[in-house]
Structure 1
Amino acid sequence: MKFGFIGLQASHVSRHPRLLHSFCRPNTRALEGSCKAIVLGQTRGLRWPARPPPLDLDEPMEDEEQHAKEAILDKVMKGRQPTDLMLRCTVLDAEGNVKTISGQFRKTDLSAEHRINPRDLRKIDSRVPNIVPTILVRREAILVNILHVRALVKADMVLLFDTFGSTDSRLHSVFLYHLEHNLKSKTTGLPYEFRAIESILLSVISALEAEMVFIRNLVGGLLAELEEDIDHDRLKRLLHYSRRLAAFQSRAQLVEQALEEVLEQDDDLNAMYLTDKKEGRPRDGDDHEDLEFLLESFSKQVEEIVSEVGNIDNNVESTQEIVELILDANRNALLGLDLQVSIATFGVGTGAFIASLLGMNLTNHFEEHVWAFYGMTGISTTIVIIMSFMGLRKLAKMRRVGLSSTFVNRNGNGKPKRWLPLPLRGRQHGGWWS
């Protein structure tokens, strides 16, 4: 059923029944009554459906952002929960033998057994991200968190921590083997805790040196390739290697700072003599030469690594500057070529201007002359050559870059003013200027 009364008022339709029948045209009388009711407004209960509210496209994005924030907060809070968190440890006894391999312990049990605070275990828990290396000295233990090593050193025990669920790497296995061998060796005369610290720092130095050699080979090979050719792929690799080199330099500097902080604190150095403290002979004052020499030797090695990384970084920066200069020179060469073409076009246009004047449909009395064509051709060619030569000569003068071309002081006679001191201005090989 179609209604054709759109745009008409109900009062007009009610006055003309035929008009109502012509618009409604129902098939039955029941439909006719309904049609009249709709037109005359008798069905007041009839309501058009309300317009749906506009969709808010920002709500899903806000919900996703809120869920992401909640997930990050939940992850951080889980890492900060001090209780019921299992840690996996490898325990070495006083003889240097491996007593427990990847044993699972609770944080609360470890804190109570070794008399340390639960917050100290957060520094050696790899679930909590720790970028800054630390060496914490406590009453009966030394907590070490440097690069890949997270250990608790006591006078008769060493605990190597690893996160629950992780796998041992080759570097960790080599470190464990060296630590076990060094703890069993008692010929050095160092106490148990110092031999453990020596193995830890030696593993850290080895890791830094291995990474430094790897980065040095990468950067050296790339710099050699850039000397031959400069392309987009090599510049992208140079950027990637520069970031990696900066990150490694930052880690090495943090390790150096951690060692320097311990060396500057005499109380911490004395407290690190755990064996003497256990035997009732605590150290006091400046009586810590053995430990100081040990830490200074490793600090110097880290300083050498930082210095060499700085040299590599300087080479990278120098190469980047040279590459920028080469690219600038190439860009200037292209701009110079563009200017040369423009100057040549200007010269040709100047000669064509004369030809355009003679090509107008006006009487100039040159058409009847025998040598007019050859003469005008020679004149146009000469003008083109002269204008192009003058433009190219001016461009060549402007492209001469020198310290003397930027600013020149001149005397009254137009000659450049001499910058030599007064006693040496008029001096020549054979005498003085007249």
Structure 2
Amino acid sequence: MPAPTSHFDRAIELARHLTATAVAVDGQPVVVYRGEHGVSTDLIHARTRSVSFGSAAAASEYAQHPNQRGDVAVAPRVIAAYLAIANPVIDNRDDPFIEMGTIVEKLGRDKAERIARRFAGHIENTGNWVEGFSHDYDSVEHMLDLEPDRITDLYLDAYPVFDDDEVVGWFAQAGYDGAIHLGNGITALEPEYKVFDQAQIHCAIGIDRVALLRAMVPAITTQLRPADTDQAGDSSTHEKEEILNASTLLQFCSNYRGETEYLVLKGALAGRRVSYRYMNREFYEQDYADFGGRVWSGDSASYRREVLGSVGLVCCSGALVPPEIVDEVNRLSADWRDQHPDLCAGPARAGVYVQGRGWSEAADIVFQYGYVLERFPSVAAAEQWLSQPRRAQPDQVWEEGGGQVVREFSVSVLGNRIVLVEQDGQEVGEVEEEGVGMTVAC
């Protein structure tokens, strides 16, 4: 897209990213600041994946007086930015802590316990631990070994959790894109804002705030004020038509390396994100050849599974993408596809994720049969076999007591479910009545 030619155009472009922002006061986006030091050519120079922002005073202090022991403030600077945080892990602007119960809710019990053990020292440094647990347990590890269910009664400072790249990666994989909490030290009386991807950071320099607020007013979708038209100067009519045709179902979030992300505004997936890789396969193959190991940390097999497998698909991790969202993605991307037919992967289709195998277009069969698909080498093989429900499954080898036992299963349809019935002499009718020897797959 050509560079914006006026304050109005730049504000319109930024507004597309900020409509769902969590960094706002009374619904209006606020400028936040980051203090940095050290010689770097990067816009953002950060040691961790999570990038923090706060007040101008705090940013200035961090820029001039590093909080890392031994660091010297070389080339101190302050960055002013708008942040797009659509789905924060926490939004606790008056609380510096994060509840372990919140982590259990967001990541599950297994990862939450790993986090509790990793940051046991921070948990044990809270008044909550001293008053409620220290008399009964020697340590957090001791408590978790004896009474793991009490993990939800614990809490700790939020900042070490969001300074850990592995933990931030877990939150990002779960669909979260940032965190907001009361700070510590210099920022003890003010909130800190953290984003998990630098694409969420939008420089505030050169943005006309009045134009930005106008662009974010819902009335902009019905008409443009004459003054706005005059201010736009040589902006194209096509760009303004894009605003007038704004989607009420999807909110544009980001566009990076050929993948567009949208926030779903209503319906069954409201609040979730969907992604669409719109370039052709050759683009991604070349992208991995050029940048694999730098912008993509996985090996070539995982790249094929996670990226190449989703080319042309509208995807939402762990959820079926309904037809209306696919149709809206196609509407929003129609102009680009028409202008670049040689680069486009074609119209979007609904995609789903098959555990261990990557993204697939076979949405109906995945959501009908679920993990039965894990017994087949491919979705195509599963479709072929499961379309004949009375045939036996291929022999399966199961580990039992250190030995291996070969079993046979047949597939039977019971109502709106599919079950695997072990070949042990029982009839389907007996299985349906007694519920013995069957595995429900959906």
Larger Rg: 1
Note whether the superposition's TM-score is higher than 0.5.
no
- Return the structure number with greater helix share: 1
Of structures 1 and 2, the one with the larger relative CO (CA 8 A, separation 6+) is: 2
- Return the structure number with greater strand share: 2
Given the two structures, how large is their TM-score scaled by the length of structure 2?
0.19
